[in-house]
Amino acid sequence: MTGQNNAPEAPVKGQARMDVAWGANSGDEDLEQNQTATTAKSGQIFHQEYTPWTGELNPRWMRNWSILRHHLLGIFRKGHRPWSVPTRLVILIVFLASLSDAGMTLLSGVVGSAEFHALFGVSRDNLYGHVLGFFPRNVLYYPVVAALLVGGVISEDRQHGTSALYFSRPVSRFDYVGMKFLSVALIQALVVLFTYVLYFLAEVVAFGRGWAWMVDVFPMFLSGMLAGALLIITYTSIGLGLSSVSSGRFFPGIGLLAIVFGTKTLASIVKNLFEREILYLISPYDCVAHVGQAIIGTQTTYDQYSWTYSFVALLAMNAVALYVLSSRVASMEVTRE
């Protein structure tokens, strides 16, 4: 256009642009004609004042419940913890597979075969197999579910800085660890203990058991529940301990599977080669199985030492895992790490 100055513009310098930003001019003037920007002679300073919140905090149980439901309800619906689709599918498949004994018990009641009922009906040996049997439950079902659950429960909080959302609010680290532990344990209990209860109900429905039978087998039922709870606590402790030292989902899950399967395999190799069962004390599965056999009252498969050794080893495993978990959570800052 006529009258327009086509001379090349001078490079914009930081100080000049900063002065223009604070000046009265628009900043679009030709810097060649205005080598020195006009600074503002007057301006407005906004005063910010922090006003503390004087409202009433929610009670402690409500804050803990918000953490718990964030993890639990994420399995069933959106709007909570985004559990992956493969994790949900595996939990569903394992839940249905764990109902196989209940289905067989119902089938034995329909067929009316005593031999068939002896294989799948309620008895001490079958209770042990339903909760703690190595194949397929503790070689396919329960360790895989625990590995998928603990993968990112704490490690992702360290990676993405979600811990800042927890600890910047009145949530103690004890409550944080407790709700994380309880969330993972309850999801496992849905698979392990709830199917165990359905197994007993299938026996009652299929054979019309009365109150006398239920009262008679109630101590056996409680012993199986205790053995299953011991399994859940052990896998959760080890898994969360691994999750607390990691910053991703892969290591905690693979580490838990490696510990459960690796120690079991190593102990079995030593047993077959040297006929020594002492390495079973380093295997979480074998320690849980040995103590579970003693609790339920079924015939033991560990003959060279008492179940009390396995119980002490189990306490030591859980203590070490919980110590690692507590120390790592205590080091988490209210920032992104």
31-50 pLDDT tens trace? 455 544 444 455 566 677 76
Quick check: 271 and 281 in contact, CB under 8 A? no
Q: How far is CA 280 from CA 111, 142, 269, 313, in A?
A: 41, 19, 10, 10
pLDDT of residue 191: 94
pLDDT of residue 210: 92
Residues near 102 by beta carbon (within 8 Å), at least 6 away in sequence: 195, 198, 199, 201, 202
Residues near 278 by beta carbon (within 8 Å), at least 6 away in sequence: 270, 304, 305
- Quick: pLDDT tens for 5-22: 555 555 545 444 444 444
pTM for this predicted structure: 0.80
Q: How far is CA 329 from CA 246, 252, 270, in A?
A: 12, 15, 37
User: What CA–CA distance (Å, rounded) separates 57 from 54?
Assistant: 9
DSSP secondary structure, 14-52, as one string: HHHHHHHHHSSS-S-S-TTT-SSPPPPS-----------
223 residue type, one letter: S
User: What CA–CA distance (Å, rounded) separates 333 from 164?
Assistant: 7
Burial group, residue 103, by CB count within 10 angstroms (0-12, 13-18, 19+): middle
Q: How far is CA 77 from CA 70, 92, 146, 182, in A?
A: 10, 14, 20, 19
Quick check: 197 and 190 in contact, CB under 8 A? no
User: 219 preceded by cis ω (within 30°)?
Assistant: no
**Residue ranges for the chain with pLDDT beneath 50:** 1-4, 12, 14-24, 26-28, 31, 35-40, 335-337
